[in-house]
Each structure stands twice: as C-alpha cells, then as structure tokens.
Structure 1
Amino acid sequence: MTENDRDIDTLVGDWLSVRDAAKALNVSPNRIKQFISDHKLLGIKRQGELSIPAAFIAEGDVIKGLPGTLTVLADCGFTTDEALRWLFTPDDTLPGAPIEAIRENRGTEVRRRAQAMAL
C-alpha cells in the first residue's frame, strides 16, 4: 500500500467491495461498475480490488446529491483520487467535509463550491 493509498484510506474510512455495494443497493455487481462509469458512484482499486466508499450509500440507495456532485467534479477535470480527497477533506466553511454536507442534504452548496473551482 502506497502512502497515497493510506492517506485516502484515512480520509474515507470505511470501504465496500463491489459485491458489498451491490448487495447494499440490491443490484448486480455489473450495475455498480456502470454506476461508477456514469459518475453515480466513485470507486478506486485498493489492494487489487475495486472499492467504493461506504459513505456513498445509505438506506439502500446512493445518497441524494452525490451523482450530481461527482459529475461536476469530473467535468472540472478532477481525477478519482482528487475527487475523493476533496469530498472527504474537512472544510471549516461548510462546516465538515463535503461528503458530510451531502449526507445531510446540503448538496446544493457542495455543488456550488465544486462548480466555482472550475471557473
């Protein structure tokens, strides 16, 4: 595991395998991979296995506001690692990390900030 991987692990915390994410969302593992391709979820290879942050899923669904935010970040040119770091890094002006704000249904403000970074 590289230092970069450890940093992301520290920020993100809990991860789900593709199979676990599929089970949590009641879809096939192939559908999870499609969600990642469509920017509805984000996943990275960790120890040779594609993993998804557990914070992206709640109550059997992808958290509201996440897909739109991921699309904005992708449109801004963020790599997967950069997007994960941005989503999980605390921001005193929110307060909390952007992912926490999204989970608290404050995704509009998070997307505004992401769009502002593209300007």
Structure 2
Amino acid sequence: MAENDAPAATDWLTLPELVEQLDLPLGRVRRLLDDRALVGSRRHGALAVPAVFIVDGKPLASLRGTVIVLGDAGFSDDEAIDWLLSPEESIGVAPIEALRAGRKSEVRRVAQTLA
C-alpha cells in the first residue's frame, strides 16, 4: 500500500481532541501513545489517532497488544494503522472492526503471520 493510499474511512483525532475525548491531561495522552495503548500518525501534519481506536471514551483495550505484535513484525506506526483500518481477507473485515467486535485472538493470529 502506497503511503497516501491509507484508508480514509475514519475520522482522525489530534492530541487536543484526544485530551477532550479521553478527559485526560496531555501528558497522560502522550503516555498512552508511548505505551502503545494508542498509535498515531503525522501523515496529515499534526500527530493524530484514528477515532475508531477510542471506545466509550477510552483506548480500545485490545489495541495495545495488537500494535506490539505488528511492531514485532516490522510494521511502522503508519503501516500498522493502515493494516488495522484496511479490509483483511483472512478476517473478513478490517482488523479494527474485528477488534472492536471482541475478536482479538483471531486478529493477533493473523498479525503474527505477517512477519
């Protein structure tokens, strides 16, 4: 996937928007990014996180481990985001949709085969 072919089917939240959405101070939001509980991209300028990574005012719990698996497979943050947001034939939907539906094990099993 070319760098500019990233899926566009999601809204992106900047750090100030994340602070408001998560009701956390900026330092805590940055910590979530550092700890891989969230992953963001600067492809549109300012660092932003796909809105679908937030569920009920919190980072999607299964996102962190999945992002770590993708990082271990050699994915950059942008590549991990693209994979999470793009339809995955072996899962039948975009991996983020499967994660949001509670299919963490299936998504991570597929992610591990990408190394």
**TM-score, length of structure 2 as denominator length:** 0.88
Misfit runs of 4+, over 6 Å = none
CA contact (8 A) 2:12 2:50 kept: yes
What stretches of structure 2 of length at least 5 have no aligned partner? none
Moved more, 43-52 or 54-63: 43-52
What is the deviation of 1:4? 2.8
SS class of match (2:42): strand
SS class of match (2:80): helix
Q: Does 1:71 align with 2:68?
A: yes
What is the deviation of 1:93? 2.5
Which position in structure 2 is the counterpart of 1:90? Answer: 87
SS class of match (2:78): helix
How many aligned residue pairs are there?
A: 114
Percent of counterpart pairs with the same letter?
39
Which position in structure 1 is the counterpart of 2:33? Answer: 36
Which position in structure 1 is the counterpart of 2:57? Answer: 60
Q: Does 1:45 align with 2:39?
A: no
Which position in structure 1 is the counterpart of 2:3? Answer: 4
CA distance in 1, matches of 2:112, 2:91: 15
Q: 1:35 to 1:110 in 2, by over 3 A?
A: same
Aligned-residue Cα RMSD (Å) equals: 1.7
What is the deviation of 1:17? 0.9
Deviations 1:12-59 (A, max 9, x none): 521001111122112112222221121111111144311010000010
**TM-score, length of structure 1 as denominator length:** 0.86
Which position in structure 1 is the counterpart of 2:22? Answer: 25
